[in-house]
Amino acid sequence: MTQPMSPVDTAKFAAAKRAAAFVENGMKVGLGTGSTAAWLVKCLAERKDREGLRFTGVPTSSSTASLATELGIPITTLDDAGWLDLTIDGADEYDSELNLIKGGGGALLQEKIVATASDRMIVIADATKKVETLGAFPLPVEVIGFGMNTTKRLLEEMLEGLDVMGNTGTFRRKGDELFITDEGNHIIDLKLGRIGNARQLSLILNQIPGVVENGLFIDICDVIITGHGDGKVEMRDINSGENETSRVGTAGDDNVFLNIAE
Ligand code: 5RP
């Protein structure tokens, strides 16, 4: 028997389902990484199977590539696709200007490259991701392995002069090992508490030689779709100013909810 979904999974699913409706025949679509993005991939696979939706996905991680392939979604690389119509991805935090912290799943580098190479980025999130000021979620910074302890020290020293509440970094681990990204790099999670000026911080971080990229997404997200535990979905388009509230059916309604939750 199918287990009922938790409120947080319902929220993620609801946001993903609404976002999946933006994909049209022939589109090239960036597929994000993480648990919310995994719901999106399942919703898109469901549209492909039910409606014959034709699109090509550009995954932002090896895990998303595996899931898409498993579900029969045609995928290609960013370089083969060239430019994308749309990218849909999750986030760890978003503020009222739709600036984001991303990288909780360790895929920030490919995610930022793919989103930047898209006409439009839609972020899907449950309501817990909305913050007044970015920074409670540790900011992931991808660094190369060479001299990484020195890079960490430089990062911490640089943070002392900036409008943030904390300045300690921790190398991300996976079990007993250092976490390794799809690009063979490592991640330093910066405990900042509060980021006073995210735009400035993003620019400064990327000037440190060992830093490959940071998890601040500034002026990249166009639309936020927020899901709630009861299936309510709120959508905000920062360019048009348009707001929409809708509802995605939950278990028991006539939809695909239970099928794709298995
Ligand atoms: C991966 C990401 C994810 O989008 C972010 O961590 C959100 O994940 P989830 O949807 O599982 O909460 O940036 O690098």
C-alpha span between 54 and 48 (Å, rounded): 7
Spans of all domains in the chain: 7-131+219-259, 139-212
Mutate which of 12, 33, 40 for ligand 1? The one with the most ligand atoms within 8 Å of its CB, which is 33
Going by C-beta distance under 8 Å and a sequence separation of 6 or more, which residues neighbour residue 207?
Answer: none
Angle at which helix 35-51 crosses helix 7-20, to 10 degrees, equals 50
Helix ranges, the chain (H): 7-20, 35-51, 62-70, 78-81, 108-116, 148-160, 198-205, 257-261
| Mean pLDDT of all residues in 211-226 | 98
pLDDT band at 4 (very low <50, low <70, confident <90, very high): confident
Q: Specify whether the CB–CB gap between 23 and 55 falls below 8 A.
A: yes
- Specify the 3-state DSSP secondary structure of 111: helix
Closest ligand 1 atom to residue 102 Cα is: 13
The reply to whether 46 belongs to the active site is no
* Gap from CA of 138 to ligand 1 centroid (Å): 13
| CB neighbours of residue 82 within 10 Å | 10
Looking at the predicted structure, is the pLDDT value of residue 254 above 90? no
> Tens digits of per-residue pLDDT, 14-62?
999 999 999 999 999 999 999 999 999 999 999 999 999 999 999 999 9
Residues 6+ positions from 216 with CB-CB distance below 8 Å: 99, 100, 101, 134, 139, 195, 198, 201, 202, 205
Task: Name the CATH topology of 7-131+219-259.
Answer: Rossmann fold (3.40.50)
Q: By the 8 A CB rule, do 2 and 90 touch?
A: no
Find, among 244, 249, 242, the residue nearest to 234 by Cα. Answer: 244
Residue ranges lining ligand 1, Cβ < 6 Å? 32-37, 89-92, 102-108, 111
Q: Nearest to residue 133, comparing CAs of 88, 84, 195, 71?
A: 195
Q: Which segments within 48-150 are labelled E, that is strand?
A: 55-59, 86-89, 93-94, 100-101, 121-126, 139-143
Q: Which CATH architecture has domain 139-212?
A: 2-Layer Sandwich (3.30)
Q: Could you tell me the pTM of the whole model?
A: 0.94
Q: Single out the catalytic residue among 111, 142, 213, 234.
A: 111
Identical fold for domains 7-131+219-259 and 139-212, yes or no, is no
118-141 residue pLDDT tens:
999 999 999 999 999 999 999 999
Q: What is the whole-number distance in angstroms between the Cα of residue 104 and the centre of ligand 1?
A: 5
3-state secondary structure of 50: helix
